[in-house]
Amino acid sequence: MSPGFTLARLAVREASRRRLSLALAGITLVAVGFSAWGFGRLVHLAPGGVPLTPLQVRLAAMQLLIFVMFMFSGILALGGIFLGAPAIAGDIESGVALAVMARPVARSELLLGRWLGLALLVAVYAAATTALEFFVVARITGYAVPDPAAGIAYMVVEGLSLLTLAVALSTRLAAMTAGITAAGLFFIVWIGGIVGNIGHALHNAALAHVGTVTRLVLPSDALWRGAEYAMEAPLVVLAEAQRAAAAANPFFSPEPDSAAYLAWVAVWFLLVLALALWSFHSREL
């Protein structure tokens, strides 16, 4: 087994020793259980003494699901950040990096091994939690997500984008500084996406360009929009897209991410990992 895969396995084992997996599983079960209770209450709503029709229940379930998954995307993003922030910085500060590379292990193997192990944790957690939430909503309310595979994939890649950014920052910054910087960029890009959507709705090119630039710098907001679109019923998309103000709604996506943008996301991952490798190689330990 190559050193990179060995280090990836050790990263997963280290997270297990810190009971990270157990903590995430507990938080997830509580969150899904609470949301299941909320969706169950939705089914029995009767405003004015008139029960909701099955169609109304499914439409309400769609909107509530998007809101729940929006909160989960934030948790997933911050989880990826705080997993990645100490990935290299922690090894450097503790002296582990010097000890490992004395074996010898190349710096690229150390960085990519750490990233691969943590990426596996983020991907499994994001996919399992998203699939579980989709299943619970479908069983309780009857609303089946139109494109669950795409929704799961977008959530996974969003988490990986923040993890990758945090790992890259950790090659130069202390763990806490890297985490705070990555979290700050995540929220700036989220706000930038909203500003850009408002610009599109108002046909204001300057505001629209803000969203374009921020989504090129960090694709997390655009990936969330892709997941959001995958969860929307086609008839709702068709109806809402007729309204000019719909594009400004942070809980509605009028169209999926383009193939060109998804290609840019793949390039973005390669560029950030390449930058992380260069940064780590050029740093004195």
3-state per-residue secondary structure call for 99-164:
HHHCCCCCHHHHHHHHHHHHHHHHHHHHHHHHHHHHHHHHHHHCCCCCCHHHHHHHHHHHHHHHHH
Pairwise CA distance, residues 165 & 87, whole Å: 11
Rounded-to-integer distance, Cα 241 and Cα 93, Å: 51
Determine how many CB atoms are found less than 10 A away from the CB of residue 162: 29
Nearest Cα to 66, choosing from 139, 133, 126? 133
87-138 per-position pLDDT tens digit: 877 667 666 555 565 566 677 788 888 898 899 889 998 999 999 999 999 9
The pLDDT score that the predictor gives to residue 225 is 92
Task: Please say if the pLDDT value at position 6 is more than 80.
Answer: no
pTM of the model: 0.88
DSSP element (H, E) containing 202:
helix 175-202
pLDDT recorded at residue 95: 61
Counting every residue, how long is the chain?
285
Predicted local distance difference test score (pLDDT) of residue 107: 75
Nearest-angstrom CA–CA distance, 198 and 192:
10
Cα 264 from Cα 262, distance rounded (Å): 5
Output phi, psi for 273, to 5 deg: -65, -40
pLDDT band at residue 240, thresholds of 50, 70 and 90?
Answer: low
* Count of the separate structural domains present in the chain: 1
> For the residues 14-27, what does the mean pLDDT come to?
67
Chain CA centroid to CA 139, Å: 25
Higher-confidence residue of 186 and 51: namely: 186
For position 81, what pLDDT does the model report?
A: 92
Q: What is the DSSP string of 3-57?
A: HHHHHHHHHHHHHHHTTHHHHHHHHHHHHHHHHHHHHHHHHT--GGG-PPPHHHH
Please give the structure tokens belonging to residue 185: 């960029």
CA distances from 104 to 12, 95, 110, 211 (A): 21, 15, 11, 45
Range of the domain at 17: 3-281
pLDDT band at 157 (very low <50, low <70, confident <90, very high): very high
Chain centroid offset of residue 121 CA: 13
Q: If we measure between CA atoms, which residue out of 180, 81, 70 comes closest to residue 122?
A: 81
* Residue 89 to residue 176: CA distance in whole angstroms: 9
From CA 240, how far away is CA 38, in angstroms rounded?
Answer: 25
SS3 282: coil
pLDDT above 70 covers a percentage of the chain that reads 80
Task: Please tell me which residue, 103 or 24, carries the higher pLDDT value.
Answer: 24
